[in-house]
Each structure stands twice: as C-alpha cells, then as structure tokens.
Amino acid sequence: MGSNIKVGPFSVIEKNVKIGDNCYIGNNVTIACDTIIGDNCKIFHSSSIGEIPQDLKYGGEKTFTKIGNNTIIREYVTINKGTIDLGRTEVGSNVLLMASTHIAHDCLVGDNVIMSNLATLGGHVQIGNWAVLGGGVLVHQFTQIGDHALIGGGFRAVQDVPPFIIAANHPLEYKGVNIVGLKRRGFSKKDMNSIKKAYRGFFRSGGNRKTAIEKIESEFPKTKVIQKILDFIKHSNRGII
C-alpha cells in the first residue's frame, strides 16, 4: 500500500494487491488478489476490480489485473483478470471508466481512453490510446479499436474499428474522421487531410481491401498517421467495419 490512501467502509482488499500513492477507494469496493493499481487513482463505490473471469475455460491459473496512473473508475464498474491465454487484463493511465462499464478478461485498454456508462468489452478486446466509446457500446470479443477512434452511443462493434475515425449505425460503419478529437490533441491540418483522403479511398472506392491498401501505399507519403492506418488494416483479424 502506498501513502495517502483512503479506503471507504465495507471495502475488501485481498492478498497480493499493490496500490500506489494518493488513491481513493470508495465504500463496498472489492479489489481481488493479484491486482496492481497505479498512483492517483479513484475507484468509486461498489466496483469490482480483478475478480476471476466470466469464462468457463478459466481453471484458476495465476493471472493478474493492472490499472495505470490517474485512472478514474466510477460506480459499479467490473474488471476481470486475465486467463491463461494472455495472462493479464490491463487498463492504461488517465482512463475514465464511467458507471457500470465492464472490461472482460484479457482486454488491453490504452491510455486516455473514455468508456461511457454501460459500455461493455468482451474478452480479448484491444482499445487504442485516446479512443472513446459512447454510452451502451458493446464490443465483441477479440475486436480491436484503433487510436483516437470514437464509437457513437448505443452501437455494437463486431469488427475492427480503425484509428482516427467516427463509427456509428447498425451495422457499424465509417461516418467520417474524428476531426474534433484530433484538433484537441494537436494534429496538424496536413495530417488530418491525409487521414480523410486515405479513408475516403479505403471506404468509398468500392474496391476490395487489398486494392484499397495498395492505393493508399502508392498515393500517400509514409507519414506516421498513414503508417498507423496501414498497419491497423493489414493486421486486422476480424475484418474492418
């Protein structure tokens, strides 16, 4: 236990737990064994952190949960530890998990992520840095959400959502580039224009994935943003929305 930690009544902290400095833990919180929590975190009442997975294949193997620094976990949030497949569930730093969100086993959530109320991740989901999930968003197991992506409230992701975009509708589809978010994070106008043109070619050209990738590779300079788009699309296992 670090210094300056406040723990509310009726909370349970099990064995093999590490908690950093200046953390606040509300009442009726359970922090299960083999959980690591960084500095300056706030965990509000009735949350469950690091409990065993809701996976019938889990056999009691030694796994853990890790929470980064400056992360806020609101009321009734549930985060399950990993299984033997990955061995851990990890939530980054400066993350906001609003009330009643759920992060399943073996999920990897990046830094500066916002999950709005009731957003739910199936097992093995990966969420990139600065991604935003609206209220009630459901993310299917093994799905990946790219950096700076935004999914509108109430929608469902069953395929991968590439970086920098806004996604909405049933079924989930590309609705444009997350311009507001990118401006707030200091992206240049040149990079934002490149992102917009690259996705216009990918989503609106009518060709298949291979030809769309080839078109981006041949027509755009290999900047960091273009390379991030290409790497994400090429390594997508579930397919792109």
Is position 38 within any domain? yes
Nearest Cα neighbor of 93 from 141, 53, 38 is: 38
pLDDT of residue 173: 97
Question: Are 47 and 120 members of one domain?
Answer: yes
pLDDT of residue 71: 98
Total of domains in the chain: 2
Question: Are 195 and 125 members of one domain?
Answer: no
The catalytic residue among 20, 34, 82, 106 is 106
pLDDT of residue 208: 84
Enumerate the β-bridge partners of residue 36.
18, 66
The catalytic residue among 123, 128, 134, 146 is 123
Question: Are 203 and 102 members of one domain?
Answer: no
**Helices 189-204 and 209-219, packing angle to 10 deg:** 150
Residues 105-135 have pLDDT tens digits of: 999 999 999 999 999 999 999 999 999 999 9
Kindly list the distances between the CA atom of residue 60 and the CA atoms of 54, 63, 77, in Å, as whole numbers in the listed order. Answer: 12, 8, 22
Is position 108 within any domain? yes
Alpha carbons 184 and 22: distance in angstroms, whole number: 28
Give the structural domain span for 218. Answer: 187-234
Q: What single letter denotes the amino acid at residue 219?
A: E
Question: Are 95 and 212 members of one domain?
Answer: no
Residues of the chain with pLDDT under 70: none
pLDDT of residue 205: 75
Decide: helix, strand or coil at residue 168. Answer: strand
The catalytic residue among 105, 122, 146, 147 is 105
Q: What is the CATH number of the domain that holds 67?
A: 2.160.10.10
Question: Are 112 and 229 members of one domain?
Answer: no
Kindly list the distances between the CA atom of residue 97 and the CA atoms of 41, 63, 92, 103, 215, in Å, as whole numbers in the listed order. Answer: 11, 22, 11, 10, 38
Is position 157 within any domain? no
123 is catalytic: yes
pLDDT of residue 160: 98
Question: Are 128 and 40 members of one domain?
Answer: yes
